[in-house]
Structure 1
Amino acid sequence: MTRPPLPARRSDPDRLRGPRDPHRIQDVALIIIAFAVVLFLLVQARFLLISLVTAIVIFSLMSDAINFIARARIGPLAIPNWLASIAAVVAIAAALLLLTSVVLAQVNTVLITTLSYVDRAPEAIAALFSWAGESTEAAVLNSVSTIELGGYIRAFASQAGNLMQGTVLVILFVGFLFAERVWFSTKLVNFVGDPVQADRVGRIIGSIIRRVNRYLAVKTLVSLMTGVMVWALAGLFGLELAVALGILTFLLNYIPNIGSIVATALVALVAYVQLGDPRTTAAIFAITGVIQFINGNVLDPMMMGRALRLSSFGIIISLAFWGAVWGIPGMFLSVPITVAAMIVCSEIPALRPIAILLSREGLPEPETERREGEQRREAAE
C-alpha cells in the first residue's frame, strides 16, 4: 500500500513572506492609476488651475485685511462687509492690471534690446572661453551660432501675451471668492456635519493662510530690496536694461534657490554683452552675488523666522515637480503649495510621514497641538 505524496515544503523566504494579499496589490495599482489621472489633469488644465491657485493665494493675502476693514468704524458708522469686499476686488484688479502692464512693457523692452544683441551674443559668449585656447573658443562659437536665438525670443514673446489673459481670469476668480467668503463658515459646518470638526478644519485653513501670508510678505520685501539694489547697480554702471533687470530680479527671487542664481547670471550676461569688458563684468557679477547672498541667506531667514520650517530638499523637490507640471508659474507657486501640503499632512495621521519629510526639523507641529500649547501658556500666565 503506497503512501500519498507529501506536500512540497515551502522555502524559508516563502514562509516568512506569507500569502500575498490581493487587495493590497489592487490598492497600490489604484493609487498609481489615480496619481497618473491627477497628473494628466494638472497638465491639461494647467492654465485654468494656475489662475485658480494664484487667485486663492491673493484672496488669502487680502482676507485678513478685509476683516480688519470690516471691523473698523467711522464715527458711529461701520463699514459693511460687502462694501469692503467690493473695494478689495477693485483694488486687486487695478493692481494686477497695472503690474501686468509694467511687466509686459519691460518684457517688450528686454526682447527688443535682446534682438539687437543677438548677432553680438555668440562672440561674447565664446570670448568667455578664450582662456581654454583658440580651438575651444572656435568650437563654442560654432555651437552657439547654430542656436536660433531669434526664434526662441519671438516664441517667448508670443507666450507673454497669455499673461494678460491669465490676469483677467485671476481677477474673476478673486471676485467669486470674495462673493462666497461671507457664507464660508456656514458651508463648512454643513459640509463637515460636525461643528467641532468644522472648527478644526477652519483652524487648519487659517494656519495655512497665516503661514503663506508671512512667507509672501517677507519674500516681497526682500525681493523688492534686492530688485532696487540691482537696479541701482546696473544704473551705476550704465546698463541700458537697468530697470528691466531690477524688475526681473524682483520677480525671479520668488523662485526659491534657483531664481537668485538665474537673476545674477542674467545681470552678468547683459553686462558682458553690452560692455564687453571682463573686469567690469566680473565686478558686477561679484557685487550682485553679494547682494543676493546677504538678502537671501541673512535677511530672509532672519525675517522669516520659524513661520515655514520647510526642508530645503523638500523645497527643491517641490520646485522640480511643479516646474515640470506647470512650468515657470509652478515654480512661483511651489512654496505656498508645499506649505499647505505640509500643514494638511501633519493633521492626518496616515499622511504624517509626508509632513515629516517636508518639515525642516522632521517634527511638524499640527495646528491643533499648536493651539493647545498656546492655550496652556496663556492659562499659565
Structure 2
Amino acid sequence: MKSGSNEMTDIDRPAGPSSTPGRNDAPSRHLINAFLISGLVLITVVLLVWGSNVLIPLAVALLIWRFINALADVYQRLWSRWLGPMRGLALLLALLTIFAASLLALDVVVSNVSAISASSREFQKSIDILLERASNLTGIERDRIIDETFGQLRLGQLLGAMVSAMTSLASQFSVVFVYVIFLLVEQKFFNIKLNAIVRDENRRARIRSLLDRVSQDVNSYVWIMTLVSLLTAALSYAVMIAVGVNHAAFWAFLVFILNFIPTVGTILATLLVSLYGLLQLGDFKSFLILLTAVGLIQFFVGNVLQPRMSAKTLNLSQFVVILSLFIWGALWGVVGMFLAVPITAILMIVLANFPSTRVVAAILSETGELRSAGDAAKADTPAP
C-alpha cells in the first residue's frame, strides 16, 4: 500500500516548470520568426529592385500629389474669405503651377547642358593650363599618371551623358504626370473605400489619424526643404554672377535640386559649382571664392536657418538619414536618394504605431520620443 501510495503521489504530482511545453518551444518560435523576417526583408528588397521601373515613378507621383494638395490648401486659404472653398479650382491651379514649373526647369536644364557640352573643348584647354600652372608652382613634372588621368578626360562625353539622363527624365516625367492626374481624380473616393474596407469605427479612426500624421510630416518636410533650397539657390546664384560664372541659372537650379539630398547633395553641389568655375575661368582664386562662399551659404542655411524652421519636424537620427541615403541610393539610384528621407520618415511613423515595432521606430528617431497615431490630433499643425 505504501509503495502504491507513493506511486500515486508521483503520478499525481504536478509537472514542474521545466516540463512546460511553451517554454521549451520558445527558442524554436524565435528562430522561425527570425527566418520569416529575414525572408520578408529579402523579398521586399528583390521587389523594390525588380519593380523599380514602376515603383520609382509611383513614389515620385505620390510625393508630388501630396505637394499639390498642400499647395492647393494655400491657394484655398487665399481666396476662401471672398470666393468660398472652391477646392476643385485650387487643385487645378496647383497642378498647373507644378506642371509649368517642371517644364520650365526641364527646359533650363536641357538647354544649358547642351550649351556647356558644346564648349567642352575650351574646358579641356583650361585643364591643360591649370595642370601646367600647378606643375610650375610645385616643381613637379606632369608625369605619365597625371597625363593619363587628366589628358584623357573628355568633358564632352560626361556632359553628353548628362543630356541623355535628362532625356530619360523627361520620358519618366510623362508617366509621373499620368499617375498624379489619376491620384487627384481618385482622391475623393479614398474615404469611401476606407469605410468599405475597415468596418470597425475605432480602427478606421486610428488609420485616418495615422494617414493625417504622415501627410502633415511629409508636407512640412517638403515645404521647408523647398523654401530652404530656394534661398540657398538664390544666394549661390548671386555669388556665381558676382564671380562671373556662365550658365549661373542652371547651376543655381542644380544647387536647388541637390539640396534635397541631405549632406551628400549639399557637398556635391558646392564642389560642382566650384569646379565648373575653375574650368571656365581657369583661376584658382575664383575656385577658392566659389568654394568658400557657396560652402558658407550651405552651412548657414542648412545648420542655422533650417533647424529653426523645421523644429525637428521628422525627428530622424542623422546617422539613419545618411544610412538611408546609401540604402535607397543603392536600390533606386539618384531618385532613391531624393526619396530616402520621406520614405524613412513614413516608415518610422508606421512602426511607432505597433507595440512590437516601436523599438525599431525609437532607433530610427533622433530623440527616442515617439508619437502614435492617437497623438497626431494633439500635435500642432505645421505651417505650410
How high is the TM-score relative to the length of structure 1? 0.83
For residue 105 of structure 2, what is the aligned residue in structure 1? 99
For residue 293 of structure 2, what is the aligned residue in structure 1? 287
Quote the Cα distance in structure 2 between the aligned partners of 1:55 and 1:31.
29
Q: Map residues 1-381 of structure 1 onto 2, 5 A cutoff.
A: 21-66=27-72, 81-82=87-88, 84-114=90-120, 116-118=122-124, 120-121=126-127, 124=130, 134-135=140-141, 139-147=145-153, 149-371=155-377
Q: CA deviation at 1:372?
A: 5.1
Quote the Cα distance in structure 2 between the aligned partners of 1:146 and 1:99.
32
Contact 2:110/2:166, CA 8 A, preserved across alignment: yes
Q: CA deviation at 1:115?
A: 5.6
- Describe the superposition over 1:108-153 as per-residue Cα deviations: whole angstroms up to 9, x where unpaired: 3343344642454366368668776515776334323345544443
The worse-fitting range, judged by mean Cα deviation, of 92-101 and 80-89 is: 80-89
Contact 2:110/2:163, CA 8 A, preserved across alignment: no
Aligned-residue Cα RMSD (Å) equals 2.9
Secondary structure at 2:369 match in 1: coil
Secondary structure at 1:308 match in 2: coil
Secondary structure at 1:215 match in 2: helix
Structure 2 residues without counterparts, runs of 5 or longer: 1-22
Quote the Cα distance in structure 2 between the aligned partners of 1:64 and 1:150.
41
Quote the Cα distance in structure 1 between the aligned partners of 2:113 and 2:268.
16
Q: Percent identity?
A: 31
For residue 4 of structure 1, what is the aligned residue in structure 2? none
Quote the Cα distance in structure 1 between the aligned partners of 2:321 and 2:363.
11
Contact 2:207/2:373, CA 8 A, preserved across alignment: no
1:322 is matched by which residue type in structure 2?
Answer: W
- Describe the superposition over 1:22-51 as per-residue Cα deviations: whole angstroms up to 9, x where unpaired: 454344333323322221221222232121
Question: For this pair of structures, how many residues does the alignment match?
Answer: 357
Q: CA deviation at 1:18?
A: 7.0
Larger radius of gyration: 2
Quote the Cα distance in structure 1 between the aligned partners of 2:305 and 2:289.
23
- Describe the superposition over 1:67-124 as per-residue Cα deviations: whole angstroms up to 9, x where unpaired: 676786586x756555554454444333333332233333333433446424543663
Quote the Cα distance in structure 1 between the aligned partners of 2:151 and 2:238.
33
Quote the Cα distance in structure 2 between the aligned partners of 1:18 and 1:136.
72
2:298 is matched by which residue type in structure 1?
Answer: Q
| Structure of higher RCO (CA pairs closer than 8 Å, 6+ residues apart) | 2
Secondary structure at 2:312 match in 1: coil
